[in-house]
Copies of this chain bind each other. A is one copy, B any other.
Amino acid sequence: MEFKKFLQIESEEAWEKYIPTLSIDSVIFSFHQHSLHVLLLKMKDMDAWGLPGGYVEKTENVDQAAVRILKDRTGTENIYLHQFHTFGDRNRSEDAFSEYDDSIWYKQRFISIGYYALAEYSKVSLVIDEFSSTVEWHSIDNLPSFMMDHRAIFEKALLTLREQVNHHPIGYNLLPEKFTMPELQKLYEGILGKKLNRGNFYRKFLRYDILTKLDESRKGGAHKAPDLYSFDLEKYNNALKEGLKGGW
């Protein structure tokens, strides 16, 4: 079916089913090949990339809707999901559907509730939905053009990670169960947007006393095999309650 026609039919159901004017957009982060990644979709008929989003059913709690949308649009589930900001500028989506009829659902003013999600890269099986032509992870060091205000939503999510890194289990949710200290440091550098001194980073993390050093090391590679660590979840959660001590 032609995409414009599809949107028209879809609209009629949407007005019945969803709360008008309200949308959800999710910024899904993962960590892969030493860099933070974000999940982006390319909608059919559009050039720019967008965050996976959707609408709140009239009978749903907003947090439930965020979980459902993530699953429907990207196939991800059971991942750490946290609301971070609501985007309500009047003209934030003004031009996105300018060529469409005024009656289509997508053309109204939307106030969008932003969630960030933290996923372990290897555990996500991406599923493409009916609205999209592509779904892909993009390194945050090399991002494409975004639709509407989605770049600003992404940036606010990253800033929130930065502010919350001492209070939320961000490392635990982004890394695989076993990881090396250089990987942990790269992750923090990605979140904080700056290089960290290796010695200071190691000392600080060991002082937190939230890691367990495993009796194994990373196999393969030309260098000496690096030690593997995992989070001691009980100690980590206790430390987060008070907030990990110290800025970066």
> Which residues does A use to contact B, with CB under 8 Å?
19-22, 56, 58-63, 65, 83, 85-90, 109, 111, 113, 163-164, 166-167, 242-248
Contact = CB atoms under 8 A, between A and B. Distances in A.
How many copies of the shown chain assemble into the complex?
A: 2
Given A242-B247, A243-B163, A86 B59 contact: no
Given A111-B22, A163-B163, A163-B164, A90 B247 contact: no
B60 A90 contact: yes
Contacts of A163: 163-164, 167, 243
A19 B108 CA distance: 11
- Top 6 nearest A-B pairs (CB, nearest first) are A62-B88, A245-B247, A243-B247, A86-B86, A61-B89, A163-B167
18 contacts: A19-B21, A19-B109, A20-B20, A22-B111, A56-B88, A59-B90, A61-B90, A62-B86, A62-B88, A63-B89, A83-B85, A88-B113, A163-B163, A163-B164, A163-B243, A244-B247, A245-B246, A245-B247
A62 B85 CA distance: 12
B61 A86 contact: no
A61 B88 contact: yes
